[in-house]
Chains A and B, each alone.
Chain A
Amino acid sequence: MSRPVFGRAEEGARPARLDRDRGLVEAARRDPSRFDALYRKYLAQVYSYAYYELRDHHAAEDASERVFMQALAGLPRFEERVDLFIPSRAPANAADSADVSTFRVWLFRIARNVIANERRRDRRRPVSSLEDAAELSAPGDVVDALAAREAAGAAWQAVSRLPEDRRRAVILRFVDEMSTAEIAAILDRSEGAVRVLLHRALRSVADDLRSQLS
Protein backbone atom coordinates (compact mmCIF):
# COMPACT_ATOMS: atom_id res chain seq x y z
CA MET A 1 0.00 0.00 0.00
CA SER A 2 1.47 3.35 -0.95
CA ARG A 3 1.70 6.01 1.70
CA PRO A 4 0.95 9.70 1.14
CA VAL A 5 3.70 11.99 2.33
CA PHE A 6 3.87 15.73 2.30
CA GLY A 7 6.76 17.48 0.66
CA ARG A 8 8.02 20.90 1.79
CA ALA A 9 7.62 22.58 -1.56
CA GLU A 10 7.23 26.34 -1.51
CA GLU A 11 3.83 26.29 -3.16
CA GLY A 12 2.50 24.35 -0.21
CA ALA A 13 2.15 20.81 1.01
CA ARG A 14 1.20 18.45 -1.76
CA PRO A 15 0.51 14.78 -1.26
CA ALA A 16 2.94 12.61 -3.17
CA ARG A 17 2.54 8.89 -3.21
CA LEU A 18 5.60 6.74 -2.92
CA ASP A 19 6.44 3.33 -4.19
CA ARG A 20 3.90 0.76 -3.03
CA ASP A 21 6.78 -1.55 -2.10
CA ARG A 22 8.54 1.10 -0.07
CA GLY A 23 7.94 -0.59 3.28
CA LEU A 24 9.21 -3.95 2.08
CA VAL A 25 12.23 -2.41 0.37
CA GLU A 26 13.18 -0.40 3.45
CA ALA A 27 12.82 -3.47 5.65
CA ALA A 28 15.00 -5.51 3.29
CA ARG A 29 17.62 -2.77 3.29
CA ARG A 30 17.79 -2.74 7.06
CA ASP A 31 17.75 -6.51 7.32
CA PRO A 32 18.56 -8.45 4.12
CA SER A 33 16.77 -11.52 5.44
CA ARG A 34 13.51 -9.55 4.98
CA PHE A 35 14.12 -9.63 1.22
CA ASP A 36 12.13 -12.85 1.31
CA ALA A 37 8.84 -10.90 1.26
CA LEU A 38 9.78 -9.13 -1.98
CA TYR A 39 10.98 -12.39 -3.43
CA ARG A 40 7.71 -14.19 -2.67
CA LYS A 41 5.71 -11.28 -4.01
CA TYR A 42 7.43 -11.10 -7.38
CA LEU A 43 8.71 -14.61 -8.03
CA ALA A 44 5.78 -15.71 -10.18
CA GLN A 45 5.91 -12.53 -12.24
CA VAL A 46 9.63 -12.73 -12.90
CA TYR A 47 9.43 -16.44 -13.54
CA SER A 48 6.51 -16.03 -15.97
CA TYR A 49 8.34 -13.32 -17.86
CA ALA A 50 11.43 -15.52 -18.09
CA TYR A 51 9.40 -18.55 -19.08
CA TYR A 52 7.53 -16.81 -21.88
CA GLU A 53 10.78 -15.33 -23.15
CA LEU A 54 12.98 -18.41 -22.85
CA ARG A 55 10.28 -21.09 -23.33
CA ASP A 56 12.00 -23.54 -21.05
CA HIS A 57 11.26 -24.21 -17.39
CA HIS A 58 14.87 -24.89 -16.44
CA ALA A 59 16.18 -21.81 -18.22
CA ALA A 60 13.42 -19.75 -16.58
CA GLU A 61 14.42 -21.08 -13.16
CA ASP A 62 18.08 -20.25 -13.77
CA ALA A 63 17.18 -16.77 -14.97
CA SER A 64 14.86 -16.16 -12.00
CA GLU A 65 17.58 -17.21 -9.61
CA ARG A 66 20.07 -14.84 -11.20
CA VAL A 67 17.56 -11.99 -11.16
CA PHE A 68 16.80 -12.30 -7.45
CA MET A 69 20.43 -12.83 -6.50
CA GLN A 70 21.39 -9.67 -8.40
CA ALA A 71 18.48 -7.80 -6.86
CA LEU A 72 19.52 -8.83 -3.35
CA ALA A 73 23.10 -7.80 -4.01
CA GLY A 74 22.07 -4.50 -5.62
CA LEU A 75 19.37 -3.51 -3.14
CA PRO A 76 21.61 -1.05 -1.25
CA ARG A 77 22.14 0.79 -4.54
CA PHE A 78 18.47 0.83 -5.50
CA GLU A 79 17.03 4.34 -5.63
CA GLU A 80 13.34 4.77 -5.16
CA ARG A 81 12.78 7.54 -7.66
CA VAL A 82 9.61 7.50 -9.63
CA ASP A 83 10.93 10.10 -12.06
CA LEU A 84 14.02 8.01 -12.68
CA PHE A 85 12.15 4.92 -13.71
CA ILE A 86 8.86 6.27 -14.90
CA PRO A 87 9.30 9.76 -16.37
CA SER A 88 5.60 10.32 -16.96
CA ARG A 89 4.97 9.77 -13.24
CA ALA A 90 7.40 12.46 -12.20
CA PRO A 91 6.61 14.47 -9.05
CA ALA A 92 4.52 16.96 -11.04
CA ASN A 93 1.74 14.43 -11.17
CA ALA A 94 2.99 12.05 -8.53
CA ALA A 95 -0.42 11.90 -6.93
CA ASP A 96 -1.45 9.70 -9.84
CA SER A 97 1.30 7.20 -9.18
CA ALA A 98 -0.63 5.37 -6.49
CA ASP A 99 -0.07 2.03 -8.14
CA VAL A 100 3.54 2.46 -9.14
CA SER A 101 6.29 0.20 -7.96
CA THR A 102 9.69 1.46 -8.93
CA PHE A 103 11.08 -1.64 -7.27
CA ARG A 104 9.14 -3.83 -9.67
CA VAL A 105 10.37 -1.79 -12.63
CA TRP A 106 13.92 -2.01 -11.33
CA LEU A 107 13.56 -5.77 -10.81
CA PHE A 108 12.22 -6.27 -14.33
CA ARG A 109 15.03 -4.21 -15.78
CA ILE A 110 17.40 -6.68 -14.16
CA ALA A 111 15.28 -9.51 -15.54
CA ARG A 112 15.35 -8.01 -19.03
CA ASN A 113 19.16 -7.90 -18.96
CA VAL A 114 19.53 -11.40 -17.52
CA ILE A 115 17.14 -12.84 -20.10
CA ALA A 116 18.81 -10.96 -22.94
CA ASN A 117 22.16 -12.45 -21.89
CA GLU A 118 20.60 -15.88 -21.64
CA ARG A 119 19.07 -15.62 -25.10
CA ARG A 120 22.33 -14.38 -26.55
CA ARG A 121 24.17 -17.32 -25.02
CA ASP A 122 21.64 -19.92 -26.12
CA ARG A 123 20.90 -18.49 -29.54
CA ARG A 124 21.08 -21.95 -31.02
CA ARG A 125 18.71 -23.55 -28.59
CA PRO A 126 15.68 -24.87 -30.46
CA VAL A 127 12.38 -23.27 -29.67
CA SER A 128 10.14 -25.53 -27.61
CA SER A 129 7.08 -27.06 -29.12
CA LEU A 130 3.55 -25.91 -28.59
CA GLU A 131 2.95 -28.77 -26.16
CA ASP A 132 4.58 -26.51 -23.59
CA ALA A 133 1.71 -24.12 -23.93
CA ALA A 134 -0.66 -26.83 -22.76
CA GLU A 135 1.09 -26.84 -19.40
CA LEU A 136 0.31 -23.20 -18.91
CA SER A 137 -3.32 -23.58 -18.05
CA ALA A 138 -4.29 -24.99 -14.72
CA PRO A 139 -6.21 -28.25 -15.01
CA GLY A 140 -9.78 -28.05 -13.85
CA ASP A 141 -12.91 -29.20 -15.56
CA VAL A 142 -12.01 -31.25 -18.64
CA VAL A 143 -13.93 -29.08 -21.08
CA ASP A 144 -12.60 -25.89 -19.52
CA ALA A 145 -9.11 -27.32 -19.51
CA LEU A 146 -9.38 -28.27 -23.16
CA ALA A 147 -10.68 -24.84 -24.10
CA ALA A 148 -7.95 -23.20 -22.04
CA ARG A 149 -5.35 -25.40 -23.71
CA GLU A 150 -6.57 -24.43 -27.13
CA ALA A 151 -6.68 -20.76 -26.19
CA ALA A 152 -3.21 -20.97 -24.66
CA GLY A 153 -1.88 -22.80 -27.69
CA ALA A 154 -3.30 -20.31 -30.17
CA ALA A 155 -2.19 -17.31 -28.09
CA TRP A 156 1.26 -18.78 -27.56
CA GLN A 157 1.67 -19.49 -31.24
CA ALA A 158 0.57 -16.00 -32.22
CA VAL A 159 2.80 -14.31 -29.63
CA SER A 160 5.82 -16.42 -30.49
CA ARG A 161 5.64 -15.13 -34.06
CA LEU A 162 5.78 -11.50 -32.99
CA PRO A 163 9.00 -9.49 -33.29
CA GLU A 164 11.00 -9.39 -30.07
CA ASP A 165 10.04 -5.90 -28.87
CA ARG A 166 6.32 -6.44 -29.49
CA ARG A 167 6.44 -9.83 -27.81
CA ARG A 168 8.08 -8.38 -24.71
CA ALA A 169 5.53 -5.61 -24.49
CA VAL A 170 2.67 -8.11 -24.84
CA ILE A 171 4.06 -10.41 -22.15
CA LEU A 172 4.61 -7.56 -19.72
CA ARG A 173 1.11 -6.22 -20.41
CA PHE A 174 -0.90 -9.44 -20.39
CA VAL A 175 1.08 -11.80 -18.17
CA ASP A 176 2.56 -9.36 -15.68
CA GLU A 177 -0.31 -6.87 -15.96
CA MET A 178 1.91 -3.82 -16.15
CA SER A 179 0.87 -0.34 -17.14
CA THR A 180 2.16 1.31 -20.28
CA ALA A 181 4.37 3.57 -18.13
CA GLU A 182 6.00 0.61 -16.39
CA ILE A 183 6.59 -1.23 -19.65
CA ALA A 184 8.10 1.92 -21.13
CA ALA A 185 10.47 2.19 -18.18
CA ILE A 186 11.50 -1.44 -18.45
CA LEU A 187 12.01 -1.42 -22.19
CA ASP A 188 13.63 2.04 -22.26
CA ARG A 189 11.00 3.39 -24.64
CA SER A 190 8.60 6.27 -24.51
CA GLU A 191 5.04 5.55 -23.45
CA GLY A 192 3.81 6.51 -26.90
CA ALA A 193 6.16 3.99 -28.49
CA VAL A 194 4.93 1.26 -26.15
CA ARG A 195 1.29 2.10 -26.95
CA VAL A 196 2.03 1.75 -30.65
CA LEU A 197 3.98 -1.47 -30.04
CA LEU A 198 1.01 -2.99 -28.22
CA HIS A 199 -1.47 -1.81 -30.80
CA ARG A 200 0.58 -3.27 -33.64
CA ALA A 201 1.14 -6.48 -31.72
CA LEU A 202 -2.61 -6.89 -31.27
CA ARG A 203 -3.18 -6.28 -34.96
CA SER A 204 -0.59 -8.93 -35.84
CA VAL A 205 -2.15 -11.38 -33.39
CA ALA A 206 -5.60 -10.67 -34.83
CA ASP A 207 -4.33 -11.40 -38.36
CA ASP A 208 -2.61 -14.54 -37.12
CA LEU A 209 -5.69 -15.84 -35.33
CA ARG A 210 -7.83 -15.07 -38.37
CA SER A 211 -5.48 -17.04 -40.62
CA GLN A 212 -5.48 -19.92 -38.12
CA LEU A 213 -9.27 -20.01 -38.25
CA SER A 214 -9.40 -19.92 -42.00
Chain B
Amino acid sequence: MLGNRARDARRTERYLDGLMAADERRAAEVPTDVDIDPAVRSAARELRAGLTRVHPSFRFEESLAARLAAGAARLQAGLSVEEAPAPAAPGTVAPFRSRSTGAVDATLADADLEAAQPEPAAVAAAGEPAPAPSGQSPAIWTVAAFRRFPEMAARPSRPLIVGGVGVGVASAAIGAVYVAWRHSHPASGRMGRAVRAAHGRATRASRGRQTGVIDGILGVVS
Protein backbone atom coordinates (compact mmCIF):
# COMPACT_ATOMS: atom_id res chain seq x y z
CA MET B 1 0.00 0.00 0.00
CA LEU B 2 1.56 3.22 -1.08
CA GLY B 3 1.44 6.25 1.14
CA ASN B 4 0.17 9.58 -0.13
CA ARG B 5 3.66 10.91 -0.56
CA ALA B 6 4.85 7.93 -2.59
CA ARG B 7 1.70 8.04 -4.72
CA ASP B 8 2.19 11.75 -5.45
CA ALA B 9 5.85 11.13 -6.23
CA ARG B 10 4.87 8.41 -8.72
CA ARG B 11 2.32 10.72 -10.36
CA THR B 12 4.99 13.40 -10.66
CA GLU B 13 7.40 10.91 -12.21
CA ARG B 14 4.83 9.83 -14.78
CA TYR B 15 4.11 13.45 -15.61
CA LEU B 16 7.82 14.18 -16.04
CA ASP B 17 8.22 11.15 -18.32
CA GLY B 18 5.31 12.43 -20.41
CA LEU B 19 6.76 15.95 -20.48
CA MET B 20 10.13 14.74 -21.73
CA ALA B 21 8.56 12.43 -24.29
CA ALA B 22 6.29 15.22 -25.58
CA ASP B 23 9.33 17.46 -25.93
CA GLU B 24 11.15 14.82 -27.92
CA ARG B 25 8.35 14.43 -30.40
CA ARG B 26 7.67 18.19 -30.31
CA ALA B 27 4.09 17.69 -29.15
CA ALA B 28 2.29 20.63 -27.59
CA GLU B 29 0.08 18.55 -25.33
CA VAL B 30 1.38 16.55 -22.41
CA PRO B 31 -0.74 13.68 -21.04
CA THR B 32 -1.70 14.78 -17.57
CA ASP B 33 -3.03 13.00 -14.55
CA VAL B 34 -5.93 15.11 -13.29
CA ASP B 35 -4.91 14.43 -9.70
CA ILE B 36 -1.50 15.97 -10.07
CA ASP B 37 -1.01 19.30 -8.35
CA PRO B 38 -1.23 22.12 -10.97
CA ALA B 39 1.57 24.02 -9.18
CA VAL B 40 3.88 21.02 -9.57
CA ARG B 41 2.94 20.77 -13.26
CA SER B 42 3.66 24.41 -13.78
CA ALA B 43 6.99 24.20 -11.96
CA ALA B 44 8.00 21.20 -14.07
CA ARG B 45 7.21 23.09 -17.27
CA GLU B 46 9.20 26.11 -16.03
CA LEU B 47 12.20 23.96 -15.25
CA ARG B 48 11.92 22.15 -18.56
CA ALA B 49 11.98 25.48 -20.39
CA GLY B 50 14.60 27.15 -18.20
CA LEU B 51 17.16 24.45 -17.51
CA THR B 52 18.75 24.06 -20.91
CA ARG B 53 21.78 21.98 -21.65
CA VAL B 54 24.94 24.01 -22.14
CA HIS B 55 27.83 23.16 -24.38
CA PRO B 56 31.44 24.12 -23.76
CA SER B 57 33.32 26.20 -26.28
CA PHE B 58 34.53 24.54 -29.45
CA ARG B 59 38.08 25.45 -28.53
CA PHE B 60 37.83 23.66 -25.20
CA GLU B 61 36.20 20.64 -26.80
CA GLU B 62 38.95 20.29 -29.37
CA SER B 63 41.81 20.88 -26.93
CA LEU B 64 40.42 18.29 -24.51
CA ALA B 65 39.94 15.88 -27.42
CA ALA B 66 43.61 16.36 -28.28
CA ARG B 67 44.67 15.74 -24.67
CA LEU B 68 42.52 12.61 -24.55
CA ALA B 69 44.05 11.39 -27.79
CA ALA B 70 47.51 11.92 -26.30
CA GLY B 71 46.37 10.11 -23.16
CA ALA B 72 45.05 7.23 -25.27
CA ALA B 73 48.39 7.00 -27.05
CA ARG B 74 50.19 6.86 -23.70
CA LEU B 75 47.76 4.20 -22.54
CA GLN B 76 48.52 2.10 -25.60
CA ALA B 77 52.22 2.49 -24.89
CA GLY B 78 51.65 1.09 -21.41
CA LEU B 79 52.04 4.44 -19.64
CA SER B 80 49.58 6.30 -17.45
CA VAL B 81 46.98 8.53 -19.09
CA GLU B 82 48.08 11.67 -17.32
CA GLU B 83 51.41 13.04 -18.38
CA ALA B 84 53.87 12.85 -15.52
CA PRO B 85 55.46 16.17 -14.60
CA ALA B 86 58.75 16.63 -16.40
CA PRO B 87 61.72 15.80 -14.16
CA ALA B 88 64.01 18.68 -13.28
CA ALA B 89 66.84 18.98 -15.78
CA PRO B 90 70.09 17.68 -14.35
CA GLY B 91 72.58 20.45 -13.67
CA THR B 92 74.56 22.23 -11.06
CA VAL B 93 73.98 25.36 -9.07
CA ALA B 94 76.93 27.66 -9.72
CA PRO B 95 77.45 30.53 -7.31
CA PHE B 96 77.96 33.97 -8.84
CA ARG B 97 81.36 35.51 -8.50
CA SER B 98 80.56 38.54 -6.44
CA ARG B 99 82.16 41.12 -4.20
CA SER B 100 81.85 38.74 -1.29
CA THR B 101 83.81 36.13 -3.26
CA GLY B 102 86.47 38.73 -4.08
CA ALA B 103 86.68 39.83 -0.48
CA VAL B 104 87.06 36.24 0.62
CA ASP B 105 89.77 35.77 -1.99
CA ALA B 106 91.67 38.78 -0.66
CA THR B 107 91.46 37.91 3.00
CA LEU B 108 91.65 34.15 2.88
CA ALA B 109 94.76 32.44 4.06
CA ASP B 110 96.27 29.98 1.61
CA ALA B 111 95.96 27.27 4.21
CA ASP B 112 92.19 27.66 4.25
CA LEU B 113 92.07 27.42 0.48
CA GLU B 114 94.25 24.35 0.49
CA ALA B 115 91.81 22.73 2.83
CA ALA B 116 88.96 23.59 0.49
CA GLN B 117 90.59 22.37 -2.72
CA PRO B 118 87.91 20.88 -4.91
CA GLU B 119 88.57 17.71 -6.88
CA PRO B 120 88.33 17.92 -10.66
CA ALA B 121 85.42 15.46 -10.52
CA ALA B 122 83.49 17.93 -8.44
CA VAL B 123 83.58 20.46 -11.23
CA ALA B 124 80.59 20.29 -13.50
CA ALA B 125 80.96 19.44 -17.16
CA ALA B 126 79.92 22.95 -18.03
CA GLY B 127 83.07 24.26 -16.42
CA GLU B 128 81.30 25.66 -13.41
CA PRO B 129 81.99 24.61 -9.85
CA ALA B 130 79.39 22.31 -8.33
CA PRO B 131 77.71 23.25 -5.04
CA ALA B 132 80.02 23.37 -2.06
CA PRO B 133 80.21 20.19 -0.02
CA SER B 134 78.46 20.33 3.30
CA GLY B 135 80.47 21.99 5.98
CA GLN B 136 82.21 24.42 3.61
CA SER B 137 81.26 28.01 2.92
CA PRO B 138 80.14 28.39 -0.71
CA ALA B 139 82.25 31.55 -1.09
CA ILE B 140 85.46 29.86 0.16
CA TRP B 141 84.78 26.83 -1.97
CA THR B 142 84.18 28.96 -5.08
CA VAL B 143 87.37 30.94 -4.59
CA ALA B 144 89.28 27.72 -4.13
CA ALA B 145 87.76 26.33 -7.29
CA PHE B 146 88.66 29.41 -9.30
CA ARG B 147 92.27 29.28 -8.04
CA ARG B 148 92.55 25.65 -8.97
CA PHE B 149 91.03 26.21 -12.42
CA PRO B 150 92.17 29.66 -13.57
CA GLU B 151 90.68 29.31 -17.06
CA MET B 152 87.28 29.34 -15.36
CA ALA B 153 88.09 32.53 -13.51
CA ALA B 154 89.24 34.20 -16.71
CA ARG B 155 85.74 33.96 -18.18
CA PRO B 156 83.63 37.10 -17.92
CA SER B 157 81.12 37.07 -15.12
CA ARG B 158 77.44 36.94 -15.97
CA PRO B 159 75.69 40.27 -16.53
CA LEU B 160 73.17 41.20 -13.89
CA ILE B 161 70.04 41.47 -15.95
CA VAL B 162 67.82 42.69 -13.16
CA GLY B 163 70.25 45.46 -12.32
CA GLY B 164 70.46 46.40 -15.98
CA VAL B 165 66.70 46.78 -16.20
CA GLY B 166 66.69 48.93 -13.06
CA VAL B 167 69.37 51.24 -14.43
CA GLY B 168 67.53 51.51 -17.75
CA VAL B 169 64.24 52.45 -16.11
CA ALA B 170 65.96 54.97 -13.86
CA SER B 171 67.72 56.59 -16.86
CA ALA B 172 64.45 56.88 -18.77
CA ALA B 173 62.71 58.44 -15.77
CA ILE B 174 65.52 60.95 -15.25
CA GLY B 175 65.41 61.83 -18.96
CA ALA B 176 61.65 62.44 -18.85
CA VAL B 177 62.02 64.65 -15.78
CA TYR B 178 64.80 66.63 -17.45
CA VAL B 179 62.73 67.22 -20.63
CA ALA B 180 59.77 68.36 -18.56
CA TRP B 181 61.94 70.68 -16.46
CA ARG B 182 63.63 72.12 -19.56
CA HIS B 183 60.23 72.83 -21.06
CA SER B 184 59.08 74.69 -18.00
CA HIS B 185 62.37 76.68 -17.76
CA PRO B 186 62.98 77.91 -21.31
CA ALA B 187 66.35 79.42 -22.20
CA SER B 188 66.31 83.24 -21.85
CA GLY B 189 68.96 84.01 -24.52
CA ARG B 190 68.27 85.64 -27.87
CA MET B 191 68.64 82.40 -29.76
CA GLY B 192 66.15 80.69 -27.49
CA ARG B 193 63.57 83.46 -27.95
CA ALA B 194 64.01 83.34 -31.75
CA VAL B 195 63.56 79.57 -31.84
CA ARG B 196 60.44 79.79 -29.67
CA ALA B 197 58.96 82.49 -31.89
CA ALA B 198 59.63 80.53 -35.08
CA HIS B 199 58.42 77.27 -33.59
CA GLY B 200 55.30 78.91 -32.21
CA ARG B 201 54.26 80.24 -35.66
CA ALA B 202 54.89 76.94 -37.40
CA THR B 203 53.10 74.69 -34.97
CA ARG B 204 50.40 76.91 -33.52
CA ALA B 205 47.74 74.68 -35.00
CA SER B 206 48.97 71.59 -33.22
CA ARG B 207 49.87 73.41 -30.04
CA GLY B 208 46.53 72.72 -28.39
CA ARG B 209 47.01 68.98 -28.56
CA GLN B 210 50.59 69.10 -27.25
CA THR B 211 49.78 71.47 -24.43
CA GLY B 212 47.55 68.94 -22.74
CA VAL B 213 50.28 66.29 -22.83
CA ILE B 214 53.04 68.64 -21.66
CA ASP B 215 50.81 70.05 -18.93
CA GLY B 216 50.18 66.53 -17.80
CA ILE B 217 53.92 65.82 -17.54
CA LEU B 218 54.54 69.15 -15.78
CA GLY B 219 51.74 68.40 -13.37
CA VAL B 220 53.40 65.13 -12.47
CA VAL B 221 56.86 66.72 -12.17
CA SER B 222 55.73 69.74 -10.14
Residue positions of A touching B, CB distance < 8 A: 31-33, 35-36, 39-40, 43-45, 47-48, 51-52, 57, 60-61, 64-65, 68-69, 72-73, 133, 135-138, 148, 151-156, 158-159, 170-171, 173-177, 180, 192, 195-196, 198-199, 202-203, 205-207, 209-210
Contact = CB atoms under 8 A, between A and B. Distances in A.
A36 B55 CA distance: 16
B76 A32 contact: yes
A210 B38 CA distance: 12
B106 interface: no
Given A72-B75, A196-B6, A206 B16 contact: no
A73 B81 contact: yes
Interface in B1-59: 5-6, 8-10, 12-13, 16, 20, 37, 39-40, 42-44, 46-56
B72 A51 contact: no
A159 to B, nearest CB: 7
B46 A151 contact: yes
Given A69-B71, A155-B46, A155-B50, A195 B6 contact: yes
Nearest to B6: A192
A199 B68 contact: no
Contacts of B56: 43-44, 47, 57, 60-61, 64
A17 B175 CA distance: 82
B73 interface: yes
B54 A199 contact: no
B40 A199 contact: yes
B80 interface: yes
B13 A198 contact: yes
Which 5 A-B residue pairings sit nearest by Cβ, starting from the closest? A155-B50, A32-B72, A206-B39, A206-B43, A195-B9
Nearest to A33: B72
B69 interface: yes
B50 A151 contact: yes
B69 to A, nearest CB: 6
A170 B47 contact: yes
A173 B16 contact: yes
Nearest to A38: B68
9 contacts: A35-B68, A44-B56, A73-B81, A73-B82, A133-B50, A151-B50, A159-B47, A202-B12, A203-B37
B27 to A, nearest CB: 16
A33 B76 CA distance: 9
B47 A65 contact: no
B171 to A, nearest CB: 42
A44 B54 contact: yes
Nearest to A204: B43
Contacts of A206: 37, 39-40, 42-43
Contacts of B8: 199
A31 B69 CA distance: 11
A88 to B, nearest CB: 13
A213 B82 CA distance: 50
